[in-house]
Amino acid sequence: MSQSLAFPDAAYSVKTTSRPLRVAIFGFGTVGRSVARILVESAPAGLELTHIFNRNVHRKRVDWVPSSVAWSSDADALLGSAEDAPDVILELAGGLEPAGDWVRKALAAGKSVITANKKLIAYHGLELEAIAAAHGSRLLYGAAVAGGIPVIPGLENGLSGDRVERVEGILNGTCNFILSKMEAGAEYGAVLAEAQGMGYAEADPTEDVGGFDARAKLAILIRLALRAQVHPDEIETCSITEVSAIDFSYAKDLNCTIRQIARAERIDGHLAATVRPMLVPLVSPLAWSRGTENMVITTGHYGGDVVFSGHGAGGHPTAVAVVSDLLGLAHGSCRIAIPSTPSKVGTELEVPHYIRFMVNDRPGIVAGIASALAHEKINLNAILQKPGYPLDRLPFVVTVEPCRTSALKRALQEIGRMPALLEKPLDLQILEK
């Protein structure tokens, strides 16, 4: 039995078309610049950066891009069928329009499109796939979820043989930055300002902290992992702004931290999905992510848990995913078409909860809460109360054993009628490991 080595010279030959693919970057912001940087520095065979499109493109011009690249503010010209028009559009502008219009026109003109636009794919992905299929063009969006972490290629090419039953993850770097800083003792307002100063958060942070950015990404993962077509707006979201320093302190007592978790699961034939701040046990990989890191954990019926983590955002990591899709195109690879079916999405789960109350202390509060929970057959697990708070504004925490979301909602409505409550209780699911 020989272990000798024979390496034929041309074993890995790169398939190229007769002429290099002409590539246009649409949107010369952070990601667009990083993509251009990689293409200029690595000059992959079989493709050529020919155009950069941006509104008022003269403001964007840089000197390190070869002079052969044409700078343009005329989208329609680039999306047309002129002989020197690009073959591939890299849509890196983001947002639903005009990006959606460009992508539709490009696909209908037989051009391939690579996009990092999670919102466009979450809301219009299937429509765009259909246009691509009708015109023999191709649509790739490996960068749309978790940027530089190959979650989409992993699902399409490595996990399609499994039956994925759950997907959960940290899909928004801004929230993770804020919450991991709050875990270390910082206050929400100060961290948000820091994140804005570093360019991690927008002036209006609603898309991120409200869970809408993660929701779009989760809708894409639901399609590829759980094979269900859902409308992103049907996924329930809850903002991280309701979490305060005291919650991290209580979470720590419970051997947990708090993260914005995007989560979808098939239970008894139903699909439940949500994006919310949750209590995450410190032993879970999800608790280890720091800063702007992203992480996705899939749970397969056959293969069990698979964890992907890394830099989910930023120009360079996202650009790696875009260029990888582009190399795939140039080398003649093609995506596995994962079938999916339309599905309603609910919120009904059976999980344990952390509920933090803020009360004006008086006798009977615990009895009232316990009675309302018992009425819904919810088992109370622990009552935690830290010393040092004023009695007329006293935070305390109740944890409950796994219970139906709807039952707890009814109990909390009942509890909400108690006059001692100063504000709506903060209800956080506890991730089980």
The DSSP symbol for 300 reads E
| DSSP state string for 108-173 | HTT-EEEE--HHHHHHHHHHHHHHHHHHT--EE-TTTTTTTS-HHHIIIIISTTS-EEEEEEE--H
Q: Is 305 in the site for its own copies (CB under 8 A)?
A: yes
> Of 190, 193, 198, 338, which lies in the binding site for its own copies, with binding defined by CB under 8 A?
338
Q: Is 203 in the site for its own copies (CB under 8 A)?
A: no
Q: State the minimum distance, in angstroms, from the CB of residue 187 to its own copies.
A: 26
Sign of CA pseudo-dihedral 197, 202, 205, 207: negative
Instruction: Give the active site residue among 217, 344, 424, 433.
Output: 217
Q: Is 328 in the site for its own copies (CB under 8 A)?
A: yes
Q: Is 201 in the site for its own copies (CB under 8 A)?
A: no
For residue 286, the SS3 value is helix
Site string for its own copies, 391-430 (x = CB under 8 A): ----------------------------------------
> Of 22, 104, 124, 135, which lies in the binding site for its own copies, with binding defined by CB under 8 A?
124
Indicate if 217 belongs to the active site: yes
Q: Is 126 in the site for its own copies (CB under 8 A)?
A: yes
Residues numbered 3-42 forming contacts with its own copies, rule: CB under 8 A? 3, 5-8, 10-15, 34, 38, 42
Span near its own copies by CB under 8 A; candidates 228-236, 268-276, 353-361, 382-390: 228-236
Site string for its own copies, 138-167 (x = CB under 8 A): ----x-----xxxxxxxxxxxxxxxx----
- CA–CA separation, 265 vs 300, rounded Å? 11
Angle, helices 173-183/188-197, rounded to nearest 10 degrees: 130
Q: Are strands 293-300 and 341-342 parallel, antiparallel or unpaired?
A: unpaired
| DSSP state string for 215-237 | HHHHHHHIIIII-EE--GGGSEE
C-alpha dihedral over 403, 409, 412, 414, to 10 degrees?
-110
Closest to its own copies by CB, 52 vs 319, is 319
The DSSP symbol for 205 reads T
Distance set, CA 328 to CA 140, 149, 325, 338, 355 (Å): 9, 16, 5, 17, 48
> Of 27, 169, 277, 317, which lies in the binding site for its own copies, with binding defined by CB under 8 A?
317
Residues numbered 363-392 forming contacts with its own copies, rule: CB under 8 A? none
Span near its own copies by CB under 8 A; candidates 119-127, 201-209, 240-248, 423-431: 119-127
The DSSP symbol for 194 reads H
Q: Is 136 in the site for its own copies (CB under 8 A)?
A: no
Closest to its own copies by CB, 29 vs 402, is 29
Closest to its own copies by CB, 144 vs 365, is 144
Which residue, chain included where needed, has tokens 């992959």?
44
- CA–CA separation, 301 vs 226, rounded Å? 11
> Of 96, 184, 193, 374, which lies in the binding site for its own copies, with binding defined by CB under 8 A?
96
Q: State the minimum distance, in angstroms, from the CB of residue 172 to its own copies.
A: 18
Binding-site size for its own copies (CB under 8 A) equals 81
Tell me which amino acid residue 38 is: I
Closest to its own copies by CB, 306 vs 349, is 306
Site string for its own copies, 60-79 (x = CB under 8 A): --------------------
Residues annotated as part of the active site: 217
